[in-house]
Amino acid sequence: MKILAIDTSSKICSVAVLKNDELVDEINLDNGHTHSENLMPILAELLDRNHLKLVDFELISCCTGPGSFTGIRIGVATVKALAEVNHLPVVSVTALETLARMDASSKNKVAMIDARNNQVYMGIFDENYEKLEEFMADDIAQIMEVLKKYQNSIFVGDGAVLHKNLILENMPDAEFCDFNEQRASFGGKIAYQKYLKNEVETADSIIPMYLRKSQAERLKKENR
């Protein structure tokens, strides 16, 4: 099965081609341009250098968030269009699931994404990548209260990097993943496993995962 995986939930615009759960090729771009500028050109480049067309794919993996509000919208809208035109099934994966997959140890994994203003998105997974808590979006101080019962975990994501000192103050045995950047290939691997479980969607059914309102929405509410 050929899988096209797209992840625009972070500052990196990432597109990958997989055969089942094996990576074939991937482009990850962070050049200061917007995802709306980068996504289609790197998709075209990836297809061209692997001598592929969209009709060759049997599944699209879409990272639906949480993360950059604008980036998520661009990625989801693009996947919707590609899936609709090419009659392709879609599998949604979250950025927190994707980050957790970057660690292969037997420890609990804490995926943490910086949401700015001292806030983070967080997901906690066991060694088999099963979710241990509902995904959270909250102030890091509140997050730490939840994390205290998960000592000796390994942390991954830019939120973990940003708040490393605070985490170590509260969890001295915490470990940190060496690699913390979003990659579409990890989402593609998850998508294949979900496909085997028949967790498949359509172009119409995929929606962004935000976990919290955008800054513009929050300011509008505060100014009422």
pLDDT at 44 over 60: yes
Tell me 51's DSSP state: T
What's the pTM value of the predicted model, to 2 decimals? Answer: 0.92
Q: The domain 103-176 belongs to what CATH superfamily?
A: ATPase, nucleotide binding domain (3.30.420.40)
| Among 29, 35, 95, 96, residue whose Cα is nearest residue 71 | 35
How far is it, in rounded angstroms, from Cα 188 to Cα 143? 28
Give pLDDT tens digits for 142-198.
999 999 899 999 999 999 999 999 999 999 999 999 999 999 999 999 999 999 999
92, 101, 141: which is closest to 125 by C-alpha?
Answer: 101
35-49 and 69-86 are packed helices; what angle lies between their axes, rounded to 10 degrees? 40
Spell out the long-range contacts of 37-43 with Cβ–Cβ below 8 A and sequence spacing 24 or more: 38/13, 39/6, 39/8, 39/13, 39/15, 39/74, 39/75, 39/78, 40/78, 42/13, 42/15, 43/6, 43/15
- In the chain, where are the structural domains located? 2-95+182-222, 103-176
| CATH class, range 2-95+182-222 | alpha beta
Same topology between domain 2-95+182-222 and domain 103-176: yes
State pLDDT tens for residues 58-112. Answer: 999 999 999 999 999 999 999 999 999 999 999 999 999 999 999 988 999 999 9
